[in-house]
């Protein structure tokens, strides 16, 4: 079927779109988020207030936004990819100039009454922009080195700005998320090998320029037991929470590590430790299962899409989602250094919840508009 | 642009995606494996660490054993201490809460400043003591107003209490906080590290500290990361300290202290058969309760600078020349050595000459001719110069030692002094001088180098009165169910081997001192029939009387300034025919022994005899 440049004129009626929404996925998202509500209820010693109720309201609002995003035509998202990226980049620049300082780093920017974390928005818009780029170029071009320069710049600009905040965790997430899109778009193996081969030595070089607290985190990660009451305390307490939970856990609202405040940041970054303390390995594995099903949906939707933008977008966002899960859980288990990455859909916090629901909205939009074919732009 | 190329693009995408999915599945397996490792393989170890985190062992201070008198009356007890503490996190405005509190009870400015300082330093849930030792009225007043006092909490602790205040301060001592020095010197005990724990600092409290202290209990509590106690998991009670029963009689002690009044004085009353110390008084005294709560600087300075030395236990630590109370020892030494008989007579002209030096009798005109019993009755100095010279100092010293003088009697207290009984070799060794006959003269009348404590004099009197048995004084009953106090101690092992006749003549002299026509203390008779007292007065010179003074007419002791007056001593026992109690009294700078010390001794013995049947009856009833 031949179509006009930049997409087709075919539009799908709204009722059909709603019917086509992936309700199984919606249910899974709700189930996973409910695990979060349960843990926040426990964190408040068995109270909805103050965290669980607020998280529910945020989730409900995010769900509405997710549906709007899902029902919006994918061609609109294709067209808006670059402008959105540009806006997010400008906001990151604004953080650099007029950001709010919190926790020793500039991450927030105030727009009217709300505080926005542009690095979170960039996680989506970067994947969108790169997907758009690879949608537009031919298979031959993907293999040509000079055609890889523009998308590398797309990655490098926000990565540099976020690193300056400084936020090493988010920088790595951005780069890794983009890397996933590069990989599935078909960039050759040896180019990845080359990048990784140069990244490791330069990483050692860059280590010299890291902030003291960042260096310390990496060192403590390598040997947390060495300094149990100092900065390694968090990882140690988290491992104790997990380990003492055993197979069946200590019971709901019974976690001693969490309720006696030994576990740090138990509502945000370390919420998985609390879950595994109270519900044991069984609880942890059930959450794994929910996540694996969510990831499987993402893959299925990507494979089902008839347009390349949709494929790359769905898989890129699913990849970022996986990175969140893996880094957070590996971190609380003491497998990777402590970087401030929340557990998706579960950790307390508005911005990451919203970001994730928009991502799922986009993935669903790919599903709803799976049969629309979009031509690539000829250069 | 071909569809084939697009299809190729899609195929490549699918291939790469599957590789990606495989990678992610592998990483998820790593997480699951790690979960298994932590939660199954290492679970026991981490469970232990979690328990170590949350469980905290706290020491529970045992209740300190009580100190009781011989009848079971509490001399030292534990009193509930009503305290007010402030918990910062429960109030919005600390100073307003304190304002409201001071409307109800007087909160001093220094307490207020201390509380405000501590609220800034300590965590919000840590109780900060505001006031201690509230009265029940204050306590209940705060209790009633507690809704208006956010952050204020009342609690009840145990503090040592001495209900008789200054009555037993020197015997019982007091408790105080553990000092750095105590930590170094005492047997290690975790209780010593407990904040607010008190140990015996003086007297019986210190001597019997270990048995009074008891052993610590433990409480396992669950605490959060900030140290706040969430709940108690289990508790193992310690054991309270043992009660200690003293030989002291509260009523007699009370009477004795009141009888001594404002004097600077000491007295010891003994049971002559058992050695039980029924009363041991040193006045003025102090209130040990001030020490348990921490004494104020002003009060402390007042006690230290008082010329009557309230902090010192004069009964065991005061060393005085025994004066004429020593004459029984001199007489017995001479009789036992065989240098005189009771019929030995000396003519007193008021002085005796030794070379160019004149030794005076207290009576300027002299006593005329007298034998031993008369010499004791009238306390003739010349007579004793004579027999002291005859028997020699070493024999006197030996006899004095047999009566418990010149050595510690090992009462269960700290600070006991041994006194001093000089000998020839002592003088040579310590002063590097030869013993002179004049020295013997002085020893003969209990002056010169001789020093004794009131306790020693009481023991001496008891050993005289019980027929020459070497009883030792004791403050603590052997054990709770041990022998009743009337049981005679093993007589043979205690017998001092004195001849009955010698003892009889000396005791007869002591009877005459009080009851004879010319007795020096004939004004201090016990008139009750069957309770007659025997005794001996003594005057210890504080200042030598110069020749000039003697010529110009010696001022009476009572006319001199207080500091220069003689010490008045009296030793006595009663009843004469069936002796039971012995007493030694010393009134510092009291002047006349017979007018000041003797009446006190009489009253104490009379009181001891008077309450004796009462005590017995009470015991029998119980």
Q: Do B213 and B282 belong together in one domain?
A: no
- pLDDT confidence of B259, banded at 50, 70, 90? very high
Q: How far apart are CA B592 and CA B67, in angstroms?
A: 37
Question: With 80 as the cut, is the pLDDT of residue A349 above it?
Answer: yes
* Least trusted range by pLDDT, from A49-58, A128-137, B63-72, B89-98: B89-98
Mean pLDDT across chain B: 88
Q: Kindly indicate the confidence band of residue A6, based on its pLDDT and cuts at 50, 70 and 90.
A: very low
- The percentage of residues in chain B with a pLDDT greater than 90, rounded to a whole number, is 54
CATH number, domain containing residue B155: 3.90.1310.10
CA–CA distance, B35 with B19 (Å, rounded to integer): 24
What pLDDT score does A170 carry? 84
Q: How close does chain B come to A187, measured CA to CA in Å?
A: 10
Average confidence (pLDDT) over A227-246:
80
Which range has the top average pLDDT, A188-192, B182-186, B385-389?
B385-389
Residues B71 and B123 in one domain: yes
B188-201 residue pLDDT tens: 888 887 777 889 99
A291 neighbourhood in chain B, CB within 8 Å = 28
Query: Residue B595: inside a domain, yes or no?
Result: yes
At residue B225 the predicted structure's pLDDT band, cuts being 50, 70 and 90, is: confident
Least confident residue range of B100-114, B379-393, B572-586: B100-114
Q: Is the pLDDT of residue A5 over 80?
A: no
pLDDT of residue A101: 60
Whether A244 sits inside 8 A of B223 (CB atoms) is: no
**Which tens digits make up the pLDDT trace of A292-309?**
999 999 999 999 999 999
Cα-Cα-Cα-Cα dihedral sign, residues B337, B338, B343, B345:
negative
Residue ending a domain, among B185, B219, B245, is B245
Nearest-by-Cβ selection for A243 from B1, B21, B45: B45
Q: How far apart are CA B322 and CA B325, in angstroms?
A: 6
Verify whether the Cβ–Cβ distance B16 to A183 is below 8 Å.
yes
Q: Given a cut of 70, is residue B497 above it in pLDDT? A: yes
Chain A CB within 8 Å of residue B230 CB: yes
Mean pLDDT value across residues A124-148? 90
Q: Which residues in chain A are closer than 8 Å to B31, comparing Cβ atoms? A: 288, 326, 329-330, 333, 335
pLDDT level of residue B276 (50, 70, 90 thresholds): very high
Beta carbons of B385 and B352 less than 8 angstroms apart? yes
B314: its two tokens: 């004069």
**Contact call for A257 and B50, based on CB within 8 A:** yes
Rounded CA separation B365/B316 (Å): 37
Do the strands B198-200 and B175-177 form a parallel or antiparallel pair, or are they unpaired? antiparallel
Q: Determine the pLDDT at residue A351.
A: 84
Indicate if the pLDDT at residue B108 is higher than 80. Answer: yes
Sequence spans of domains, chain A:
14-368
Closest partner residue to B31 (CB to CB) among A256, A295, A329 is: A329
- Strand-pair category, B244-245 with B67-68: parallel
Q: Look at residue B425 and tell me if it is in a domain.
A: yes
Q: Is B501 on the interface with A (CB under 8 A)?
A: no
Chain A residues whose CB is inside 8 A of the B36 CB are 281
B88-91 long-range contacts, Cβ below 8 Å, gap at least 24?
B88/B119, B88/B122, B88/B124, B88/B125, B88/B126, B88/B128, B88/B151, B89/B124, B89/B125, B89/B151, B90/B150, B90/B151, B90/B153, B91/B150, B91/B151, B91/B152
CB contact under 8 A, B49 and A326: no
Q: What is the pLDDT of residue B91?
A: 82
Nearest-Cα distance to chain A for B237, in Å, is 26
Q: Provide the pLDDT confidence category of residue A7 given band limits of 50, 70 and 90.
A: very low
Q: Which residue of chain A is at minimal alpha-carbon distance from B24?
A: A322
How sure is the predictor about B481, in pLDDT bands with cuts at 50, 70 and 90?
very low
Q: What percentage of chain A's residues is helix, strand, coil (to nearest 5)?
A: 70, 5, 25
* Least confident among A318-327, B56-65, B542-551: B542-551
**Nearest Cα to B521, choosing from B596, B431, B577?**
B596
The reported pLDDT for the residue numbered B180 is: 86
Is B237 in the same domain as B292?
no
**Per-residue pLDDT at B484 exceeds 70:** no
Q: For residue B301, give every residue at least 6 positions away whose Cβ sits within 8 Å of its Cβ, in sequence order, or none.
A: none
Average pLDDT over residues A53-71: 95
Å between A189 CA and nearest CA of chain B: 10
Per-residue pLDDT, B616: 59
Phi, psi dihedrals of residue B279, rounded to the nearest 5°: -160, 140
The pLDDT of residue B621 is 63
Q: Please report, for residues B75, B79, B509, the alpha-carbon distance to residue B244 in angstroms, rounded to integers and kept in the order given.
A: 10, 17, 40
Q: Domain total for chain B?
A: 2
Whether the pLDDT of residue B483 is over 60: the answer is: no
> pLDDT band at residue A1, thresholds of 50, 70 and 90?
very low
B513 part of a folded domain: yes
- Taking only the tens place, the pLDDT of each residue in B244-253 is 999 999 999 9
The answer to whether the CB atoms of B39 and A257 lie below 8 A apart is no
| Separation CA A50–CA A274 (nearest Å) | 17
Chain B, residues 54-73, CB within 8 A of chain A, namely 54
pLDDT at residue B554 above 80? no
Question: Pick the residue with more confidence: B534 or B8?
Answer: B534
Task: State the pLDDT confidence band at B303, using cuts at 50, 70 and 90.
Answer: confident
Instruction: Provide the domain limits for residue B241.
Output: 58-245
Are the CB atoms for B499 and B335 separated by under 8 Å? yes
Does residue B491 sit in the same domain as residue B386?
yes
Q: Is B27 on the interface with A (CB under 8 A)?
A: yes
> CB of B17 within 8 Å of any CB in chain A?
yes
Write down which residue in B245, B280, B310 finishes a domain: B245
pLDDT of residue A223: 57
| DSSP of B471-535 | ---BSB-S-TTS--TTSPP-HHHHB----HHHHHHHHHHHHHHHHSTT-TTGGG---STT---EE
Percent of chain B scoring above 70 in pLDDT:
93
Q: Taking CB atoms and an 8 Å limit, are A186 and B24 in contact across chains?
A: no
Give the mean pLDDT of B246-266: 94
Query: Does residue B43 sit within a domain?
Result: no
Query: In this structure, what token pair is assigned to residue B371?
Result: 């034998």
**What's the rounded mean pLDDT across residues B200-205?**
92
Q: Report pLDDT for A4.
A: 41
| The pLDDT value given to residue B61 | 83
- State whether B410 and B520 are in the same domain: yes
Q: Is a pLDDT exceeding 50 seen at residue B531?
A: yes
Cβ atoms of B281 and B315 closer than 8 Å = yes
* pLDDT at residue A100 in the model: 63
- Most confident region among A41-45, A357-361, B115-119, B427-431 by mean pLDDT: A357-361
> Do residues B410 and B207 make contact, with C-beta atoms less than 8 angstroms apart?
no
Residues B109 and B201 in one domain: yes
CB-facing half-sphere around the CA of A213: CA atoms within 13 A: 10
The least confident of B62-71, B78-87, B325-334, B457-466 is: B78-87
d(CA B397, CA B404): 11
Give me the pLDDT at residue A2, please: 38
- Is B209 in the same domain as B285? no
pLDDT for position B450: 95
Residue B22: inside a domain = no
Q: Let me know whether B64 and B203 are in one domain.
A: yes
Say if residues B494 and B263 touch (Cβ distance below 8 Å): no
Ranges A50-54, A349-353, A365-369, B582-586: which has the least confidence: A349-353
Residue in B closest to A248 by C-alpha: B39
> What percent of chain A lies above the pLDDT cut of 90?
51
pLDDT at residue B486, as a whole number: 47
How is B130-143 classified by DSSP, letter by letter? Answer: EE-S--HHHHHHHH
Residue B586 shares a structural domain with residue B454: yes
Q: Mean pLDDT throughout B101-109?
A: 88
Handedness of CA B271, B377, B421, B467 (dihedral sign): negative
Tell me, yes or no, whether B122 lies in a domain. Answer: yes
Tell me the chain A residues in contact with residue B14 when contact means C-beta distances shorter than 8 Å.
303
CA distance A97 to chain B (A): 38
The answer, for B24 touching chain A at a CB cutoff of 8 Å, is: yes
Reported ipTM: the value is: 0.90
pLDDT at residue A96 tops 70: yes
Given B187, B210, B245, which residue is the final one in a domain?
B245
User: What pLDDT, in 10s, does the model give residues B397-456?
Assistant: 999 999 999 999 988 899 999 999 999 999 999 999 999 999 999 999 999 899 999 999
Helix axes B454-465, B327-337, angle to 10 degrees: 50
Catalytic residues of B: 324
- Would the CB atoms of A242 and B226 count as touching at under 8 Å? no
Closest CA to B506 of B323, B343, B272, B328: B328
Residue A337 in this model has a pLDDT that exceeds 50: yes
Whose CA is closest to A365, among A82, A31, A125, A17?
A: A17
Quick check: B1 and A333 CB within 8 A? no
**pLDDT above 70 (res A316):** yes
Whether residues B218 and B81 fall in one domain = yes
* Contact call for B8 and A139, based on CB within 8 A: yes
CATH number at residue B279: 3.40.710.10
pLDDT at A377: 67
Residue B37 lies in a domain: no
pLDDT at position B556 over 80: no
Q: How far apart, in whole angstroms, are the C-alpha atoms of residue B316 and residue B322?
A: 14
Residue A10 has pLDDT above 50, yes or no: yes
What is the model's pLDDT at position A285?
96
Residue B152 maps to a domain? yes
Whether B39 sits inside 8 A of A276 (CB atoms) is yes
DSSP B420: B
Q: Identify which of B105, B83, B417, B455 has the alpha carbon closest to the alpha carbon of residue B276.
A: B455
Compute the nearest-CA separation of A234 from chain B (Å): 12
Is residue B225 domain-shared with residue B261, that is, in the same domain? no
Tokens standing for residue A276? 């595994």
Region of poorest pLDDT, from A75-84, A209-218, B30-39, B496-505: A209-218
């Amino acid at each position: 079927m031949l179509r006009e440049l930049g997409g087709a004129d075919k539009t799908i009626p709204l009722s059909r779109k709603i019917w086509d929404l992936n309700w199984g996925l919606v249910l899974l998202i709700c189930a996973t988020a409910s695990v979060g509500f349960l843990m926040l209820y426990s964190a408040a010693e068995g109270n909805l207030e103050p965290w669980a109720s607020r998280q529910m309201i945020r989730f409900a609002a995010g769900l509405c936004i997710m549906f709007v995003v899902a029902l919006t035509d994918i061609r609109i998202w294709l067209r808006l990819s670059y402008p959105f990226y540009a806006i997010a980049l400008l906001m990151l620049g604004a953080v650099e100039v007029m950001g709010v300082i919190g926790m020793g780093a500039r991450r927030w920017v105030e727009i009217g009454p709300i505080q926005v974390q542009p690095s979170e928005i960039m996680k989506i818009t970067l994947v969108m922009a790169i997907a758009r780029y690879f949608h537009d170029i031919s298979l031959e071009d993907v293999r040509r080195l000079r055609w890889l320069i523009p998308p590398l710049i797309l990655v490098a600009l926000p990565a540099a700005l976020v690193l300056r905040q400084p936020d090493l965790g988010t920088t790595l997430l951005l780069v890794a998320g983009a890397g996933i899109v590069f990989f599935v778009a078909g960039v050759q193996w040896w180019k990845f090998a080359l990048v990784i081969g140069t990244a490791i030595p330069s990483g050692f070089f860059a280590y010299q320029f890291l902030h003291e607290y960042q260096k310390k985190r990496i060192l403590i990660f390598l040997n947390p037991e060495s300094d149990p009451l100092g900065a390694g305390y968090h990882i140690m307490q988290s491992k104790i929470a997990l380990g003492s939970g055993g197979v069946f856990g200590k019971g709901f609202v019974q976690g001693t590590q969490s309720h006696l405040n030994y576990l740090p940041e138990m509502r945000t970054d370390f919420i998985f430790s609390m879950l595994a303390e109270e519900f044991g390995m069984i609880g942890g594995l059930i959450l794994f299962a929910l996540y694996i099903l969510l990831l499987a949906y993402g893959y299925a939707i990507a494979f089902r899409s008839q347009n390349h933008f949709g494929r790359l977008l769905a898989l890129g966002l699913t990849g970022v989602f996986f990175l969140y899960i893996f880094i957070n859980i590996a971190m609380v288990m003491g497998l990777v250094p402590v970087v401030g990455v929340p557990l998706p859909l579960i950790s307390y916090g508005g911005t990451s919840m919203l970001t994730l629901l928009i991502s799922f909205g986009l993935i669903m939009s790919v599903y709803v508009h799976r049969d629309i074919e979009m031509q690539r732009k000829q250069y | 642009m071909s569809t084939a190329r697009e299809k190729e693009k899609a195929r490549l995408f699918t291939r790469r995606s599957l590789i990606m999915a495989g990678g992610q599945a592998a990483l998820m397996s790593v997480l699951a494996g790690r979960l298994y490792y932590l939660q199954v393989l290492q679970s026991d170890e981490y469970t232990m660490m979690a328990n170590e985190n949350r469980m905290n062992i706290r020491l529970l201070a045992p209740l300190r054993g009580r100190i009781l008198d011989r009848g079971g009356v509490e001399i030292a007890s534990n009193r509930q201490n009503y305290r007010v503490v402030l918990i910062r996190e429960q109030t919005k405005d600390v100073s307003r809460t304190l304002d409201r509190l001071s409307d109800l009870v007087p909160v001093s400015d220094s307490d207020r400043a201390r509380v405000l300082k501590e609220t800034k330093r300590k965590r919000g849930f840590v109780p900060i003591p505001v006031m201690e030792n509230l009265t029940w009225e204050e306590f209940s007043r705060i209790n009633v107003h507690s809704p208006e006092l956010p952050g204020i909490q009342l609690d009840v602790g145990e503090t040592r209490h001495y209900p008789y205040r200054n009555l037993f301060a020197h015997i019982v001592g007091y408790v105080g906080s553990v000092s750095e020095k105590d930590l170094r010197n005492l047997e290690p005990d975790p209780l010593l590290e407990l904040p607010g724990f008190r140990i015996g600092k003086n007297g019986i409290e210190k001597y019997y500290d270990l048995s009074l202290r008891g052993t610590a209990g433990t409480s396992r509590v669950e605490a959060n990361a900030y140290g706040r106690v969430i709940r108690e998991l289990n508790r193992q009670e310690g054991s309270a300290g043992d009660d200690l029963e003293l030989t002291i009689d509260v009523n007699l002690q009370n009477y004795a202290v009141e009888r001594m009044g404002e004097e600077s004085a000491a007295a010891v009353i003994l049971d002559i058969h058992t050695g039980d110390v029924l009363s041991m008084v040193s006045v003025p005294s102090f209130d040990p309760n001030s020490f348990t709560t921490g004494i104020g600087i002003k009060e402390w300075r007042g006690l230290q600078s008082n010329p009557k030395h309230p902090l010192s236990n004069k009964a065991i630590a005061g060393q005085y020349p025994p004066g004429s109370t020593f004459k029984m020892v001199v007489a017995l030494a001479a009789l036992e050595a065989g240098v005189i008989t009771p019929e030995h007579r000396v003519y007193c002209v008021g002085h005796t000459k030794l070379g160019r030096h004149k030794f005076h009798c207290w009576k300027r005109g002299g006593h005329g001719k007298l034998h031993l019993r008369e010499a004791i009755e009238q306390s003739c100095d010349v007579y004793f110069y004579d027999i002291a010279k005859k028997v020699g100092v070493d024999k006197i010293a030996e006899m004095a030692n047999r009566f418990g003088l010149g050595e510690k009697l090992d009462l269960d207290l700290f600070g006991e002094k041994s006194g001093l009984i000089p000998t020839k070799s002592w003088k040579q060794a310590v002063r590097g001088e030869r013993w002179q006959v004049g020295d013997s003269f002085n020893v003969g009348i209990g002056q010169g180098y001789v020093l004794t404590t009131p306790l020693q004099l009481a023991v001496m009197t008891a050993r005289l009165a019980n027929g020459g048995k070497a009883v030792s004084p004791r403050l603590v009953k052997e054990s709770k169910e041990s022998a009743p106090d009337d049981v005679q101690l093993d007589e043979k092992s205690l017998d001092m081997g004195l001849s009955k006749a010698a003892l009889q003549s000396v005791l007869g002299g002591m009877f005459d001192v009080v009851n004879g026509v010319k007795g020096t203390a004939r004004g201090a008779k016990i008139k009750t029939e069957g309770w007659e007292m025997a005794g001996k007065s003594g005057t210890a010179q504080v200042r030598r009387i110069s020749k000039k003074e003697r010529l110009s007419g010696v001022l009476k002791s009572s006319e001199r300034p207080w500091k220069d007056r003689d010490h008045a001593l009296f030793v006595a026992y009663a009843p004469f025919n069936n002796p039971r109690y012995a007493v030694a009294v010393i009134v510092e700078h009291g002047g006349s022994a017979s007018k000041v010390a003797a009446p006190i001794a009489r009253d104490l013995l009379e009181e001891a005899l008077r309450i004796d049947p009462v005590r017995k009856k009470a015991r029998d009833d119980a």
